Amino acid sequence: MALSNAVISIVSVAAVVLCSLMLCFDCKPAAVQGLRLENYSEQQVKGCYDYNQTLSICFDVGKDFMKLATKTGEEIVFHLELGPNMFYCNVLGQGFIG
């Protein structure tokens, strides 16, 4: 159940980020567009959403972690559960433990 909520959250975040970028840059969609899932199981959901050849966001969501990255692999957001009441988060290269 928690993984399902995480998947819904990550896809929602990805959609909002892409819509914001499209509005900012007035991008036009290309023929290559849509959601591609590389792995979809109860333990992990991994894939990318391609808007056009230059605008894509990739995600990797597991039980204790979440990663958003560019199509080239540049990490945007990484969140990792470290244990009870503890996590590591890295946003655009700035990491912290909470």
- Residue 88 backbone phi and psi in degrees, to 5: -120, 135
Contacting residues for 78 by C-beta, under 8 A, at least 6 apart: 65, 66, 67, 68, 88, 89, 90
Domain that holds residue 70: 2-97
Q: So what's the pLDDT on residue 10?
A: 59
Overall domain count for the chain: 1
pTM value? 0.63
The answer on pLDDT for 24 being more than 70 is: no
Q: So what's the pLDDT on residue 14?
A: 56
Q: pLDDT of 37-89, one tens digit each?
A: 888 888 899 999 988 877 889 999 998 999 999 888 889 999 999 988 899 99
